[in-house]
Amino acid sequence: MKNKLLLTSCLAALICSTAFATSPAPMKKAPPAPSPKATASPAATTVTDTRAIPFHGMISAVDQKAKTFTIAGKESSRVFKITDKTVLTKGSAKATMKDVVANEEVRGSYWKAADGSLEAKTVKLGPATDAEKTKAPKPSASASPAASPKP
């Protein structure tokens, strides 16, 4: 009887010591968040999205001095900022801000900056070329709902 009691207490001590030895290490504190009073300079806007978002539409307004253009939507308009990093093309040729005019088709991609502004990554002016149209994935016939005969 004493052997069983001694064996049981040894096993219990072993189990408890193993549980404490394998417990996770205490977590370190996260670094403090930046102060809300710290402001970034307008030239150094940070991009919140890591992936560029596509856009297309008709340019409704252009501000050459601010280097922006606007695409009017059904519900709201979007203003895109052109920066030194923006790649502007018209057809297959390189373009400049002077080539951006109202009432012209435009497509491309943009990043949303931390301040909410839309920074253009690529801007293609003019209608899509035949090569771009053939590259575009076409919806498959199986994706559309099949017509069912009426009873």
How confident is the model over 95-148, as pLDDT tens digits?
999 999 999 999 999 999 999 999 999 999 998 877 777 776 655 555 555 555
pLDDT top residue among 66 and 142: 66
78, 71 contact by CB (below 8 A): yes
Q: What percent of the chain has pLDDT over 90?
A: 46
User: What's phi and psi for 122, nearest 5 deg?
Assistant: -130, 145
> d(Cα 146, Cα 77) in Å, to the nearest integer?
36
The pTM score is: 0.57
pLDDT at 39: 44
Show the beta-strand stretches assigned E in 30-134.
53-63, 68-72, 77-81, 87-90, 93-94, 105-112, 118-125
Q: If you average pLDDT over residues 54-70, what whole number do you get?
A: 95
Q: Tell me, rounded to whole angstroms, the distance of Cα 72 from its chain centroid.
A: 21
Domain 53-135 CATH class label: mainly beta
Q: What is the mean pLDDT of residues 24-47?
A: 51
- The two tokens of residue 99 are 């080539």
Answer with the residue of higher pLDDT: 57 or 26. Answer: 57
Distance CA 101, CA 47 (A): 26
**Domain locations along the chain:** 53-135
pLDDT-derived band of residue 26, with 50, 70 and 90 as boundaries?
A: low
Cβ–Cβ < 8 Å for 107, 132? no
